[in-house]
A and B are shown apart, each in its own frame.
Chain A
Amino acid sequence: MKKILFIEDEPALQKTMGDFLKDGGYEIIGALDGESGLEMAESQKPDLVILDLVLPRMDGFEVLKSLKAKEETKDIPVIVLTNLERLEDISKVLALGATTYLVKANYTLEEVADKIKKTLGE
């Protein structure tokens, strides 16, 4: 069973996306802020990280930078899932090494799940 770490500060989104992916056969671990998300990525070695950008304690850009800088986490694919949609944000996260950039409001749960499958090569 593939393990997905979902770093998102909105509990309602954690719950809906988490339940949907659990039903789809994934193991979901969640973090509500950037700092604990980064710690969980290091300790639990997920197969994929879904990352919001606007987060308390450490923003998504910093989390992504740290993930890609560390040997043990640099190969974990990261899907950025956010409502920020400025060109500079998109360019910045792609340059930092994110696999995909998705704007939450433009995707249904099923469409996000499809992107996850593709990223995991399923």
Chain B
Amino acid sequence: MKLNDILDQLNIIGQCRRYGVSLWQCPQFLFLVMGMVIIATMLTSYLLGIRYIEDPLMVAFLVILITAFLFIIGSVIVQSFEKLAEVSRMKTEFINIVSHQLRAPLTSMKWALEEFILKLPPEATHNHEEEYISILKDNNERMAKLINDLLIVARAEQGKLVIKKEEISPTELIERSIKDFSPMAQALNVQVIFERENDLPKIFADPFQLKLVIDNLLDNAIRYSRPSQDRNDGESGIVEMRLKNKGKDVYFEIKDNGVGIPDNDQKYIFQKFFRSSNASRYQTQGTGLGLFIAKSIIEALKGKIAFKSNEDDGSTFWFTLPINNL
């Protein structure tokens, strides 16, 4: 073993980061803790032994027996944790590699389609070509988003989310999201309303990541707003968004009058791959990653995210972000 390898093994924090686990789940740290427990137990059993047992050989035998027992148990525990941590690291690495490899051909397809659409002759609209190309483009975007989501999840789990902060206007980001989602809102007969205070300050945040959070929340709000034909009161779906200043933070809220989240599901809603029973009833598509990603990003930007919801009575999600988040 080279000196560098030995020093690397001694760097416990570095090893824990490599595995992407917390200190108390980290095999190297647990090994250290077990070592200290064994030393403390050895000393205690020795001190107790010499007080209550006359034969020094018997004391020595007992101390060795207890130490050996603890050492075996400790080794088994640490090795199990090491295996789990290694599997978790390999899984994250696997997702990273696969996602990167999938991204390359998808980008080629995306750009080729963009060029193709730009150069479509006017008569193409009459022959359904444009419609077919649009199907290809939409599905390419869907796949790219899924890969992006998987990459973000892998990074969030390793505590390595990529955050590139710059001065941005949250109002502009929200307006861009509303524009992007307006075809979907129209198709699902959902009205999107946005109220904001005037003179809101700019904030320091990652525009790409923050837009992803707003997109995910807006997508859910529109998607799970029940269409008017499903509602007893005959109302159409309404999504209300609010943006205001709240002390040292900006506060964003998004409220829908949709299907809501059942009480039993609420504690799992920010967990990855979790889909509420209500969500699956109304929408078969979806990965259950959107809210996990939203929470990871907001927390990485030093903000807070939460929600309240009643089944069949809609949901309200909100988040805060510090204004001076340099």
Contact = CB atoms under 8 A, between A and B. Distances in A.
B107 A13 contact: yes
Interface stretch (A31-39, A65-73, A104-112, A114-122): A104-112
B34 interface: no
Secondary structure of the B contact surface, majority rule: helix
A105 B144 contact: yes
A16 B105 CA distance: 13
B157 to A, nearest CB: 14
Is the interface on chain A under 10, 10 to 19, 20 to 34, or 35 or more residues? 20 to 34
Nearest to B114: A109
A54 B287 CA distance: 30
Interface string A8-46: 001011011101100000000000000000000000000
A85 interface: yes
Secondary structure of the A contact surface, majority rule: helix
A84 interface: yes
A41 to B, nearest CB: 23
Interface string B120-136: 00000000000000000
Contacts of A83: 100, 103-104, 107
A86 B104 contact: no
A17 to B, nearest CB: 6
Nearest to B116: A16
A90 interface: yes
A20 to B, nearest CB: 6
Contacts of A87: 160, 162
Residue among A15, A84, A105 having the largest count of chain B Cβ atoms under 10 Å: A105
B110 A108 contact: yes
A106 B209 CA distance: 11
Contacts of B94: none
Interface in B301-320: none
Contacts of B118: 20
Nearest to B147: A105
Nearest to A112: B111
A84 B111 contact: no
A85 B151 contact: yes
Contacts of A12: 108, 111-112
B162 A16 contact: no
B160 A19 contact: no
Contacts of B107: 13, 83, 104-105
Interface of A: 10, 12-13, 15-17, 19-20, 83-87, 90, 104-106, 108-110
Given A83-B103, A104-B103, 20 more contacts: A10-B104, A10-B108, A12-B112, A13-B108, A13-B111, A16-B108, A16-B115, A19-B115, A20-B118, A83-B107, A85-B151, A85-B162, A87-B162, A90-B162, A105-B103, A105-B144, A105-B147, A105-B148, A106-B148, A108-B111
27 contacts: A10-B108, A12-B108, A12-B112, A13-B108, A15-B112, A16-B114, A20-B114, A20-B115, A83-B100, A83-B104, A83-B107, A84-B100, A86-B160, A86-B162, A87-B160, A90-B162, A90-B164, A104-B103, A104-B107, A105-B106, A105-B110, A105-B144, A105-B147, A106-B148, A108-B110, A109-B114, A109-B115
* A-B pairs with lowest CB-CB distance, top 6: A12-B108, A16-B111, A104-B107, A83-B103, A105-B103, A109-B114
